[in-house]
């Protein structure tokens, strides 16, 4: 792949949406690795099949597909799927995000500029303002909005027709969406973390696009440390590639991958600095918890959202952290992963949790 092959227009649109730590060049690479069609998407078999059907049916009817909600942790492919929906329907994608729509008027302006069949992608849809949200309900259902002109008793509502469009909403926090908004999506896809063999395919695919020579073991090493997340798999591949080019002969084999990932502080289970910091603070400073998420975030010097949306889902899924009504607690596995002996109370709690699950 050459840098000039990159779709710079798409890259511009994505500027505000991609991970903040990505610098220009890296961001461009990120965009270039994005699958363009449903066929190119790795994993998420069920979502792919369901979405494929929704799109095919819409195509046959010659109508805009139903509104689609994509939910799941960061980096699993929500933005990718939104772009694919527009691509598969051969329509332009209009891009905005919840925090960008502060007034209902902002949304009215976007909606009035849409053409028949356009796809409107609203990223972080759970962060939209209340009045905008209410305007969106109406637009989704009736393809019409009321624009309020003036203030107080003299205010008048002017109805505005909107051509049929498809709303694609993305959220890392489906639970925060108000019921009426959630109910207006005809199809909801919840993206799950990826299996190691799927990440392995993603690493192979990306290595091919980036012209990186990779052995099976090298790829497996990266895949197994990617926290079930394609974005992380791609990022680790880039770091390992740097290492391979500077400190080895350019080939990514097991030794190179292990040495590089050790350098970047990604451990054998894929825990990064933040994950380990969370567990470390939880065990060493708070005796294993329970601790509220805000306290935990302050203690590791991170935003609450980052801890809650990035570190926590992975730690919970891997059985290191449990959510209880009184706060977050470390499991025995977390203590052991840090090389510590779990206290009696933790062992008792884990046993109880197991019984409860049964
Ligand atoms: N199913 C997949 N197959 C191959 N690559 C994927 C897949 N899903 C995601 N990726 C890769 O991972 C990167 C991140 O995906 P994407 O930006 O779509 O995540 P996201 O869910 O929108 O994350 P965020 O919540 O942070 O916005 C993409 O650049 C893409 O290259
Ligand atoms: Mg995204």
DSSP string, 261-288: HHHTT--TT---HHHHHHHHIIIIITTT
Cβ(117) to ligand 1 under 6 A? no
The reply to whether 93 and 166 lie within a common domain is yes
Residue 184 known to bind ligand: yes
The reply to whether 45 and 185 lie within a common domain is yes
CB 338 within 8 A of CB 280: yes
pLDDT of 350 reads 73
Give the CATH number, domain containing residue 249.
1.10.8.60
Shortest-distance Cα residue to atom 9 of ligand 1: 77
The reply to whether 198 and 308 lie within a common domain is no
- Region label for 250, one of left (φ > 0), alpha (ψ between -120 and 50) or beta (otherwise): left
- As a whole number of angstroms, the distance between CA 183 and CA 124 comes to 17
Half-sphere exposure of 312 (CA within 13 A, CB side): 24
Chain-centre distance for alpha carbon 343 = 35
The reply to whether 72 and 218 lie within a common domain is no
Half-sphere exposure of 245 (CA within 13 A, CB side): 10
The reply to whether 228 and 183 lie within a common domain is no
Residue 137 known to bind ligand: no
Instruction: Show Cβ contacts of residue 260 under 8 Å, excluding neighbours closer than 6 positions.
Output: 239, 240, 242, 243, 244
pLDDT of 348 reads 80
- As a whole number of angstroms, the distance between CA 222 and CA 188 comes to 30
Of 211, 237, 264, which residue sits at a domain end? 264
- For the chain, the maximum distance between any two Cα atoms, rounded to a whole number of angstroms, is 75
- What is the model's pTM? 0.87
CA–centroid distance, 174 to ligand 2, in Å, is 14
Q: Which of 131, 132, 313 is nearest to 228 (CA)?
A: 313
Long-range contacts formed by 138-141: CB under 8 A, 24+ apart? 139/107, 139/111, 139/167, 140/67, 140/167, 140/184, 140/185, 141/184
Q: Which of 231, 170, 180, 168 is nearest to 19 (CA)?
A: 231
Cβ(77) to ligand 1 under 6 A? yes
- As a whole number of angstroms, the distance between CA 210 and CA 301 comes to 35
pLDDT one-digit tens code per residue, 83-93: 999 999 999 99
- As a whole number of angstroms, the distance between CA 198 and CA 206 comes to 12
Mapped onto helix, strand or coil, the DSSP state of residue 173 is: coil
Of 150, 165, 190, which residue sits at a domain end? 190
Pocket test for ligand 1, best of 10, 22, 52, 76 (most atoms within 8 A of CB): 76
Cβ(34) to ligand 1 under 6 A? yes
The reply to whether 292 and 251 lie within a common domain is no
Q: Which of 181, 189, 194, 78 is nearest to 138 (CA)?
A: 181
- As a whole number of angstroms, the distance between CA 112 and CA 97 comes to 17
The reply to whether 200 and 74 lie within a common domain is no
Quick check: is 156 catalytic?
A: no
- Region label for 75, one of left (φ > 0), alpha (ψ between -120 and 50) or beta (otherwise): left
Mapped onto helix, strand or coil, the DSSP state of residue 251 is: coil
Q: Which of 87, 81, 100, 104 is nearest to 168 (CA)?
A: 81
The reply to whether 85 and 168 lie within a common domain is yes
Catalytic residue among 27, 231, 238, 241: 231
pLDDT of 99 reads 94
Cβ(11) to ligand 1 under 6 A? no
Quick check: is 25 catalytic?
A: no
The reply to whether 147 and 111 lie within a common domain is yes
Give the CATH number, domain containing residue 86.
3.40.50.300
The reply to whether 121 and 50 lie within a common domain is yes
Residue with tokens 């990186």: 212
pLDDT of 175 reads 86
pLDDT one-digit tens code per residue, 303-322: 999 999 889 989 998 999 99
Residue with tokens 């079930």: 228
Pocket test for ligand 1, best of 48, 231, 238 (most atoms within 8 A of CB): 231
Quick check: is 183 catalytic?
A: no
Mapped onto helix, strand or coil, the DSSP state of residue 71 is: strand
Cβ(43) to ligand 1 under 6 A? yes
Cβ(35) to ligand 1 under 6 A? yes
- As a whole number of angstroms, the distance between CA 293 and CA 306 comes to 11
Residue 304 known to bind ligand: yes
Work out how many domains the chain is built from and give that number: 4
Q: How far apart are the first and last CA of the chain?
A: 51
Give the CATH number, domain containing residue 329.
1.10.10.10
Closest ligand, as measured to the CA of 26? 1
The reply to whether 63 and 120 lie within a common domain is yes
Instruction: Show Cβ contacts of residue 212 under 8 Å, excluding neighbours closer than 6 positions.
Output: 206, 237, 241, 244, 250, 252
Q: What are the 10-residue block averages of pLDDT along the chain, 358 residues in total?
A: 38 40 69 92 96 97 96 95 96 95 91 94 94 92 88 87 96 90 95 95 96 96 95 95 94 96 92 94 92 94 91 91 92 94 83 60
Domain range holding 53? 34-190
Of 164, 190, 216, which residue sits at a domain end? 190
The reply to whether 184 and 45 lie within a common domain is yes
Quick check: is 146 catalytic?
A: no
């Amino acid at each position: 792949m050459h840098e000039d092959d990159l779709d710079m227009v798409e890259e511009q649109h994505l500027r505000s949406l991609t991970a903040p730590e990505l610098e220009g060049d890296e961001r461009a690479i990120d965009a270039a690795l994005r699958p363009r069609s449903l066929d190119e998407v790795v994993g998420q078999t069920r979502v792919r099949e369901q979405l494929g059907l929704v799109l095919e049916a819409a195509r046959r009817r010659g109508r805009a597909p139903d509104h689609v909600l994509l939910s799941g942790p960061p980096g699993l492919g929500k933005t990718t799927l939104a772009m694919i929906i527009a691509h598969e329907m051969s329509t332009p994608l209009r891009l905005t995000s919840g925090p960008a729509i502060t007034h209902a008027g902002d949304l009215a302006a976007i909606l009035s500029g849409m053409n028949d069949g356009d796809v409107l992608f609203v990223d972080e849809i759970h962060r939209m303002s209340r009045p905008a949200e209410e305007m969106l309900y109406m637009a989704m259902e009736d393809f019409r909005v009321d624009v309020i002109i003036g203030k107080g008793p003299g205010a008048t509502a002017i109805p505005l027709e909107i051509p049929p469009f498809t709303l694609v909403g993305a959220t890392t926090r489906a639970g925060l969406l108000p019921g009426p908004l959630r109910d207006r999506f005809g199809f909801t896809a919840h993206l799950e973390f990826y299996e190691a063999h799927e990440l392995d395919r993603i690493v192979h695919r990306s290595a091919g696009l980036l012209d990186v020579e990779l052995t099976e073991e090298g790829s497996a090493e990266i895949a197994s440390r990617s926290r079930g997340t394609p974005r992380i798999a791609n990022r680790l591949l880039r770091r390992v590639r740097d290492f391979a080019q500077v400190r080895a002969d350019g080939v990514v084999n097991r030794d190179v991958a292990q040495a590089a990932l050790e350098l970047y502080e990604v451990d054998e289970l894929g825990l990064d600095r933040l994950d380990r910091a969370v567990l470390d603070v939880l065990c060493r400073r708070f005796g294993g918890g329970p601790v509220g998420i805000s306290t935990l975030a302050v203690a590791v010097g991170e935003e609450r959202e980052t801890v809650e949306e990035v570190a926590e889902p992975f730690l919970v899924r891997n059985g290191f952290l449990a959510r209880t009504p009184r706060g977050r607690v470390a499991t025995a596995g977390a203590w052991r992963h840090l090389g510590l002996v779990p206290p009696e109370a933790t062992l008792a709690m884990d046993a109880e949790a197991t019984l409860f699950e049964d």
